Amino acid sequence: PKFAVFASGSGSNFQAIYDAVNDGKLEAQAVLVVTDKPGAFVVERAKNVGVETLAIKPSSFSSKEAYEQEIVKKLKELEVEWIVLAGYMRLIGNVLLEAYPNRIINIHPSLLPSFPGKDAIGQAMAHGVKVTGVSVHYVDAGMDTGPILAQQAIEVVDGDREKTEERIHAVEHDLYMKTLQKLWSR
């Protein structure tokens, strides 16, 4: 299927998914990267591999609805079938949810329902959990609350956020691709 990746940051998950497609591990087509942060590194990554980008700031629209309508217009133009969130730091609103019912997937760096929202890794470290992980889930109107598609546990490296984060990102890059593979081969 044709999909769009939404991201606000570095875009390492976009890169991993794009590479999987490019290597023939994932039968799909990345047709668009959407970002709310025009300066984010994900824009450079998309340009490097020739994927179209839509970089628009929500603050230049009169409402969240108007912002999302602009995105939906582009998604429809490109015949996008699935939305893959990868570090997109915004709650998805009704316009997108209604345009793509059960077609929006997210990855979150914790074992949901623990530690939803921002800085899940920091939250887990602050709580002192010994095991955390990664979740891939359908997106609904809540914050990291939709039905879970896949999870993988990771041992926390005690007191070492950087090493823990490295482990989490490595698992994310593998798990996202594999979960999409299963989802899209049904």
Nearer to ligand GRF, 87 or 146 (CB): 87
Specify the DSSP class assigned to residue 26: S
Nearer to ligand GRF, 69 or 152 (CB): 152
Q: Pick from 177, 146, 169, 178: which is nearest to 9 by CA?
A: 169
Instruction: Choose, by CB under 6 A, the member of 11, 30, 71, 133 that binds ligand GRF.
Output: 11
Minimum CB separation from ligand GRF for residue 62, in Å? 28
- Within 10 angstroms of residue 131's Cβ, the number of other Cβ atoms is 10
Rule CB under 6 A: is residue 146 a binding residue for ligand GRF? no
> How far is 142 from 121, CA to CA, in rounded Å?
19
The enclosing H or E element of 51 equals: none
Ranked by CB distance to ligand GRF, the top (closest) residue is 87
- Within 10 angstroms of residue 59's Cβ, the number of other Cβ atoms is 7
- Considering only residues 58 to 117 of the shown chain, the ones binding ligand GRF according to CB under 6 A are 86-87, 107-109
- β-bridge partners, 30: 3
- β-bridge partners, 138: 105
Nearer to ligand GRF, 40 or 95 (CB): 40
Catalytic residue among 108, 127, 169, 173: 108
Interface residue list for ligand GRF (CB under 6 A): 7, 9-13, 86-87, 107-109, 172
* Catalytic (active-site) positions: 108
